[in-house]
């Protein structure tokens, strides 16, 4: 029984929370931006966003593994996943997915109609994304659109009208997600080529790192634009400088081809961005 529970825990990737963090930070950015524009943030909404990030990321991992378990057996990094090893079967995985989905729907019942509509739309993309690696040359773009939906969903908890700032944030986060997931995909590029699935590193070839960095700078620029539109304080300028410094540190991992570490390092970029928005909330 304990072994089975551990397998479900690993299937949801709860033993590797970095994915939760990288989904949570964009969602909190959206929530905080809505709070900055509204003048405050409802504490209940923080709980909804945190719990929602855990549930949604878990759902995404389960449906991804259901779709890819045959491929996972052929990739060194994923060969030990529960469905790839046979620790869990497909039927058990589907039951677990529907339980997580039901829990997500229950959480949505505490939100407003607009949030529910946006969340349900992107839920379809979450289920669709794992298949895109088979027929879309740049599946990271679909992941970016889907993964970044947390900014829109959480923002809608605080505001019914979308401002220019949230649109800038959404597209900026899409660029950021594509960037760090591209670095993540570089870790598997050889295996992906062998088994015939697509990724941005395969599409972009030698230009991959250059394009990934440009996308990351686009994210920083989007934050600066939001700061300008909303008349953020001088402290936010220091946050942008801190992000550029983290980018410099990140490049050391890139030069060493430690691409998994580059992916994980983006956790700090998200934390610093959140810190910047929190400062503005307190100033208000």
DSSP 98: H
The better pLDDT of the pair 72, 56 is held by 56
> Does residue 59 have a pLDDT over 80?
yes
Q: How far is the C-alpha of 62 from the C-alpha of 149, rounded, in Å?
A: 19
pLDDT band at 161 (very low <50, low <70, confident <90, very high): confident
pLDDT band at 276 (very low <50, low <70, confident <90, very high): very high
Q: Give the pLDDT score at 173.
A: 97
pLDDT tens digits, 94-115: 999 999 999 999 999 999 999 9
> Does residue 284 have a pLDDT over 60?
no
pLDDT tens digits, 121-142: 998 888 888 888 888 899 999 9
The better pLDDT of the pair 90, 39 is held by 90
Q: Identify the sign of the CA torsion 171, 172, 173, 175.
A: positive
User: Considering only CA atoms, which of 119, 127, 167 is closest in space to residue 143?
Assistant: 127
Q: How far is the C-alpha of 25 from the C-alpha of 196, rounded, in Å?
A: 32
Domain hosting residue 13, numbered range: 2-283
- Full DSSP string of 139-188: HHHHHHHHHTHHHHHHHHHH-SS--HHHHHHHHHHHHHHHHHHHHHHHTT
pLDDT tens digits, 191-243: 888 888 899 999 999 999 999 999 999 999 999 999 999 999 999 999 999 99
Q: How far is the C-alpha of 85 from the C-alpha of 79, rounded, in Å?
A: 7
User: Considering only CA atoms, which of 147, 157, 56 is closest in space to residue 104?
Assistant: 56
How many structural domains does the chain have?
1
Q: How far is the C-alpha of 92 from the C-alpha of 97, rounded, in Å?
A: 9
CATH number of residue 224's parent domain = 1.10.357.140
The better pLDDT of the pair 108, 69 is held by 108
| Mean predicted lDDT score pLDDT of the chain | 92
pLDDT tens digits, 9-37: 999 999 999 999 999 999 999 999 998 88
233 Rama class: left (phi>0) / alpha (psi -120 to 50) / beta: beta
Cα of 228 vs its chain's centroid, Å? 25
- How buried is residue 255: exposed, middle or buried, by Cβ count under 10 Å (0-12/13-18/19+)? exposed
When pLDDT is averaged across residues 71-82 and rounded to a whole number, the result is 84
């Amino acid at each position: 029984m304990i072994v089975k529970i551990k397998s479900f825990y690993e299937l949801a990737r709860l033993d590797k929370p970095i994915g939760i963090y990288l989904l949570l930070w964009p969602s909190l950015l959206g929530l905080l931006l809505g709070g900055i524009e509204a003048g405050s943030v409802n504490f209940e909404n923080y709980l909804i966003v945190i719990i929602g990030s855990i549930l949604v990321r878990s759902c995404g991992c389960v449906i991804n593994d259901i779709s890819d378990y045959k491929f996972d057996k052929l990739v060194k990094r994923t060969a030990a996943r529960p469905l790839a090893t046979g620790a869990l079967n497909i039927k058990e995985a589907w039951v677990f997915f529907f339980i997580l989905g039901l829990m997500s729907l229950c959480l949505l019942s505490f939100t407003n109609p607009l949030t529910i509509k946006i969340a349900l739309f992107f839920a379809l993309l979450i289920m669709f994304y794992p298949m895109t690696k088979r027929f879309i040359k740049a599946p990271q773009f679909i992941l970016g659109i889907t993964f970044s939906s947390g900014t829109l969903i959480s923002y809608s908890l605080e505001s019914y009208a979308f401002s220019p700032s949230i649109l800038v944030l959404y597209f900026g986060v899409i660029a950021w997600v594509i960037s760090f997931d591209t670095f993540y995909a570089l870790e598997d590029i050889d295996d992906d080529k062998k088994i015939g699935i697509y990724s941005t590193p395969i599409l972009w070839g030698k230009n991959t790192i250059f394009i990934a960095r440009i996308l990351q700078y686009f994210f920083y620029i989007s934050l600066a634009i939001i700061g300008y539109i909303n008349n953020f304080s001088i402290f936010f300028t220091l946050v942008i400088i801190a992000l550029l410094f983290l980018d410099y540190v990140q490049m050391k991992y890139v030069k060493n081809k430690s691409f998994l570490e580059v992916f994980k390092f983006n956790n700090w970029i998200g934390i610093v961005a959140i810190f910047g928005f929190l400062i503005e909330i307190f100033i208000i």
